[in-house]
């Protein structure tokens, strides 16, 4: 046998021996930290049995993932029926990158050791019944933290956001703190400390005061939601400096003022504008027609007035138009609805609109909901309403229509 044939055989033997050798298990220290976390729970959801049956290598345990060096990098224990406090021992896993403890029934608060970890980049404790204030920045933490995604939504957190927190969160991309009981003002400097922040969701809390004009510094911000709070004042013009915004949502607060077309057109990436349930007044600006990507327009339950701008027909991606409970007047015929082929819901109830229902509405073949009640419409409903094959909700009451039976037959 020549040396050229011996070499491949030796190489194959070496590979077989390598593949057959047992993998190095996780260290005793990492195993101990995981067991300490488990021991702190009052109900473990069967994890003790599961981990015991999976052997001594914690990299093989349910919900645990490791890297090539057999260091724990992920803890995914969502919806496991866990109860009791979250042990800070998890933060001792020095290679830990992702923690998902969502949809459990923990007690107590969120350990500061997890939120200000030196390794964790994704922390999700949503829907977990955590309570108390958000942990304050420990005095020992002076360098920036790597956390990129923090989801603490749908818990029982209260009190104000600690202002010092943002100083060490320069990597933060997404913060979801919705559906809690946070009080006080919206943090005034999240983007000064977190320049890459793209999502900020603070809806369904008890926040009050004005919207900080510093949100305009959030040059990367795409989603800004703070609906269902107690916010007041105006929508600062600086907000429109965040030109990457795709979702701007402040419904059901006590905001006031008028929509300035010159400012609103700066948000040319906007897909959703939701300012319903406030005290906005004035007209819908003509320049709104330049928002070519707009898909949802929610301005219902305000004090807005004037005629609907004809330029609304230029927003050809519109799927939802909600203008109910306002003081809009005039004839709908100025808007060419036939261009809005993506429109699914049109809600104009309780306004002062008049005239005939324009024929162009019956060209919106994807329309599923049409609300026209409590206006001053008159005349007949065209038999072309039968073109709305997907219509499942129709409200025409308290107008001056004639021969509605004919329209119903067409449907």
Measure Cα distances from 303 to 81, 230, 371 in Å: 47, 18, 19
Q: What pLDDT sits at residue 19?
A: 36
β-sheet bridge partners, residue 76:
100
Beginning with the edge strand found earlier in the chain, give each strand of the sheet holding 181-182 in spatial order: 131-132, 156-159, 181-182
Give the DSSP per-residue string, 81-131. --EEPPPGGGGG-TT--EEE--SSEE-S---HHHHT-SS--EEE--SS--E
Candidates 113, 97, 149, 146; CA nearest to 37 is 113
pLDDT per residue of the chain (411 residues) written in tens, 0 to 9: 444 444 444 434 333 333 333 456 889 999 999 999 999 999 999 999 999 999 999 999 999 999 988 899 999 999 999 999 999 999 999 999 999 999 999 999 999 999 999 999 999 999 999 999 999 988 888 889 999 999 999 999 999 988 888 888 999 999 999 999 999 999 887 777 778 999 999 999 999 999 999 888 889 999 999 999 999 999 999 999 999 999 999 999 999 999 999 999 999 999 999 999 999 999 999 999 999 999 999 999 999 999 999 999 999 999 999 999 999 999 999 999 999 999 999 999 999 999 999 999 999 999 999 999 999 999 988 889 999 999 999 999 999 998 777 777 777
pTM: 0.91
Beginning with the edge strand found earlier in the chain, give each strand of the sheet holding 208-209 in spatial order: 208-209, 230-234, 254-258, 279-282, 303-307, 327-331, 352-355, 376-380, 400-402
Give just the sign of the alpha carbon dihedral 349, 351, 352, 354: negative
Local structure of residue 216 (DSSP, 8 states): G
267, 285 Cβ separation under 8 angstroms: no
Q: How many Å apart are CA 174 and CA 141, to the nearest integer?
A: 21
Q: Please enumerate in sequence order all residues whose Cβ is within 8 A of that of 246, keeping only pairs 6 or more positions apart, or say none.
A: 222, 223, 269, 270, 271, 272, 293
CB atoms within 10 A of CB 246: 16
Q: How many Å apart are CA 219 and CA 201, to the nearest integer?
A: 16
Secondary structure in 3-state letters for 264-307: HCCCCCCCEEECCCCEEEECCCHHHHHCCCCCEEECCCCEEEEE
Cα angle 237, 243, 247; round to 5: 90
Give just the sign of the alpha carbon dihedral 97, 103, 106, 112: positive
Q: Which CATH class is domain 251-411?
A: alpha beta
Q: How many Å apart are CA 151 and CA 122, to the nearest integer?
A: 8
Candidates 349, 394, 355; CA nearest to 375 is 349
Q: State pLDDT tens for residues 33-43.
A: 999 999 999 99
Q: What pLDDT sits at residue 141?
A: 84
332, 306 Cβ separation under 8 angstroms: no
**Displacement of CA 346 from its chain's centroid (Å):** 24
Candidates 335, 314, 240; CA nearest to 323 is 335
Q: How many Å apart are CA 330 and CA 315, to the nearest integer?
A: 20
382, 359 Cβ separation under 8 angstroms: yes
Give the DSSP per-residue string, 121-189. -EEE--SS--EEPPPPPPTT--SPP---EEE--SSEEEEPPPGGGGGG-TT--EEE--SSEE-SPPPS-
Domain definitions of the chain by residue range: 251-411
Q: What pLDDT sits at residue 11?
A: 38
């Amino acid at each position: 046998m020549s040396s050229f044939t011996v070499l491949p055989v030796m190489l194959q033997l070496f590979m077989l021996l390598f593949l057959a050798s047992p993998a190095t298990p996780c260290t005793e220290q990492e195993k101990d930290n995981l067991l300490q976390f488990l021991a702190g729970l009052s109900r473990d959801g069967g994890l003790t049995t599961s981990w015991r049956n999976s052997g001594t290598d914690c990299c093989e345990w349910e919900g645990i993932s490791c890297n090539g060096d057999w260091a724990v990098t992920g803890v995914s224990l969502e919806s496991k029926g866990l109860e009791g406090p979250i042990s800070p021992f998890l933060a001792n896993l020095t290679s830990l990158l992702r923690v998902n403890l969502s949809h459990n029934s923990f007690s107590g608060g969120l350990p500061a050791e997890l939120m200000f970890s030196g390794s964790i980049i994704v922390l999700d404790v949503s829907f977990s019944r955590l309570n108390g204030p958000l942990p304050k920045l420990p005095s020992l933490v002076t360098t920036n933290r790597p956390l990129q995604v923090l989801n603490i939504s749908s818990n029982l957190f209260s009190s104000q956001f600690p202002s010092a927190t943002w100083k060490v969160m320069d990597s933060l991309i997404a913060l979801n703190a919705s559906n809690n009981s946070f009080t006080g003002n919206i943090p005034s400097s999240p983007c000064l400390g977190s320049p890459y922040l793209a999502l900020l969701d603070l809806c369904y809390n008890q926040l009050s005061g004005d919207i900080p004009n510093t949100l305009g510094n959030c040059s990367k911000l795409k989603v800004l939601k703070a609906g269902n709070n107690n916010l007041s004042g105006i929508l600062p013009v600086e907000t429109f400096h965040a030109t990457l915004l795709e979702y701007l949502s402040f419904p059901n607060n006590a905001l006031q003022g008028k929509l300035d077309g010159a400012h609103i057109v700066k948000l040319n990436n906007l897909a959703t504008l939701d300012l319903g349930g406030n005290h906005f007044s004035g007209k819908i600006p003509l320049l709104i027609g330049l928002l070519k990507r707009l898909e949802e327009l929610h301005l219902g339950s305000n004090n807005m007035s004037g005629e609907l701008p004809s330029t609304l027909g230029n927003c050809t991606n519109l799927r939802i138009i909600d203008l109910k409970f306002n003081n809009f007047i005039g004839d709908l015929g100025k808007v060419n609805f036939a261009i809005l082929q993506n429109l699914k819901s049109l809600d104009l109830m309780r306004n002062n609109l008049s005239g005939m229902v324009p024929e162009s509405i019956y060209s919106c073949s994807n329309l599923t909901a049409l609300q026209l009640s409590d206006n001053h419409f008159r005349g007949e409903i065209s038999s072309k309403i039968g073109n709305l094959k997907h219509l499942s909700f129709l409200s025409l009451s308290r107008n001056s229509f004639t021969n509605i039976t004919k329209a119903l037959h067409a449907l």
